[in-house]
Structure 1
Amino acid sequence: MSSPRPILVVDDDDALRGALLEQLVLNGEFAPEEASSLAEAEAKLSNGARYDALLLDISLPDGDGRDFCRDLRERGIKAPVIMLTASSEEADVVRGLDAGANDYLAKPFRLNELLARLRAHLRSFETSEDAEIKIGPYNFRPSTRQLLDAKGTKIRLTDKEAAILKYLYRAAKAVPRQTLLEVVWGYNQAVTTHTLETHVYRLRQKIEADPQNSRILLTDGGGYRLSP
């Protein structure tokens, strides 16, 4: 079980954007959001929205998607970007990749091919050294199971601790204890909520300034969530 992955679709073609959104929500695999312009996309990002990947049109009413992609990279946003364009000219492909895009698809494209490429890039990114998540005052690197504070000090996590943080980050809401157990430990009758609570306790000892007054990993109802 995993939470839907947030994807931002930036395209001014209403029909295509609608088709992409409809396809992405199937099976609960993705949680897509849309923007019809670079200004809309920037507004979402500026408001703190987090996306695992972007599907980005090149020709938008208020600018070139390649310039926007380059700006994202310069700002340290490393999530996969797949460029969408009506042109398949080699020069345009090169420009898109040089701007920092991970892939390039010419319209019209097959939705199944786009989804396959999206999944492949997400898998690759998750295991790369570039994958980094902001959690409270820390930068979390899932591939190395490390948290780095502002001074660059490393906090090492166990596999289970890293899995808990990663799932809570992607969920972006309170997650019931039983759900976390099933996600992190799988189906195992020998594992109880006490096991999870013990791991959360140890995790708080590592990441909270005052573990008795948590400000990062919060208890919420019958589960846990990360502070925004």
Structure 2
Amino acid sequence: MRVLLVEDEPEMAAALATALRDHDMVVDLVADLGLAEEALRIATYSAVLLDRQLPDGDGLKLIPKLRASGLQTPIIVLTARGEIADRVAGLDGGADDYLSKPFAIAELLARLRAVLRRPGDLPDETLKLGRLAYDGAHRQASVAGVALNLPRRELLVLEALLRRAGRTVARSVLDDAVYGFDDEIQSNALDTHVSRLRRKLADADAGIEIHAIRGIGYLINSQS
């Protein structure tokens, strides 16, 4: 899951980004509305976490503009303004949820899961292929009921492939699923993640294969 975090307060931004990454999310962090618009033009996100009080304006003013452009990505507004009138303004403006600061990370994660359950965007379902099952809600892979412990980026590669099982997934799509704007990417990093993932799936007898499609990307399917 790739999330855009729009927050200008450095300590809050760093804490939120770290917590989300600890829960296997790719996080792009920007500090104002202009950068948020630019990020949304060039990347696809599962959700947007949007602060209200930003250097170049109220975050709420961005939401109608995004909705008018056709963007349906779930947006959760994060703000110190907790009055009912502020919450109503946020929801009426097109936000999917409104969370008042301070809040617990567990609550934010629960709100994210909730907004992502809407029809057409269901990351919480269990994906199955071969003997492997992937629990989208808890980001846990297992083979025949036995947990398969994978590092964050290998897990993100697996999820991106499983959601497109039987189809070739371009390298650029996998890069977007695994890396944020600020991540340093070595030229062979993706291939290394796939190689390690492929070996672990084979060792666990998962009954699935990952094929390299030369010059394009990768494809996952069940063993014939």
TM range (shorter): 0.5 to 0.7
CA contact (8 A) 2:43 2:176 kept: no
Q: Which residue of 2 aligns with 1:76?
A: 70
Q: How many pairs does the alignment contain?
A: 162
Q: Which residue of 2 aligns with 1:99?
A: 93
What is the CA–CA distance in structure 2 between the aligned matches of 1:49 and 1:161, rounded to whole Å? 18
What is the CA–CA distance in structure 2 between the aligned matches of 1:21 and 1:62, rounded to whole Å? 21
Correspondences of 1:1-228 after superposition (within 5 Å): 5-27=1-23, 29-46=24-41, 48-124=42-118, 126-127=120-121, 162-163=164-165, 169=173, 172=176, 176=194, 188-189=206-207, 191-192=208-209, 219-220=214-215, 223-224=217-218
What is the CA–CA distance in structure 1 between the aligned matches of 2:114 and 2:168, rounded to whole Å? 19
TM-score of the pair, normalised by structure 1: 0.59
The percent identity for this pair of structures is 36
What is the CA–CA distance in structure 2 between the aligned matches of 1:6 and 1:43, rounded to whole Å? 16
TM-score of the pair, normalised by structure 2: 0.60
Q: Over residues 142-175 of structure 1, what are the superposed CA-to-partner deviations in whole Å (9 max), with x where a residue is unaligned?
A: xxxxxxxxxxxxxxxxxx8854559764653767
Q: CA RMSD in A?
A: 3.3
Highest relative contact order (Cα 8 Å, sep 6+), 1 or 2? 2
The structure-2 alpha-carbon separation of the partners of 1:31 and 1:166, relative to structure 1 and needing over 3 Å to count, comes to farther
What is the CA–CA distance in structure 2 between the aligned matches of 1:84 and 1:34, rounded to whole Å? 14
SS in 1 for 2:99: strand
CA contact (8 A) 2:169 2:218 kept: no
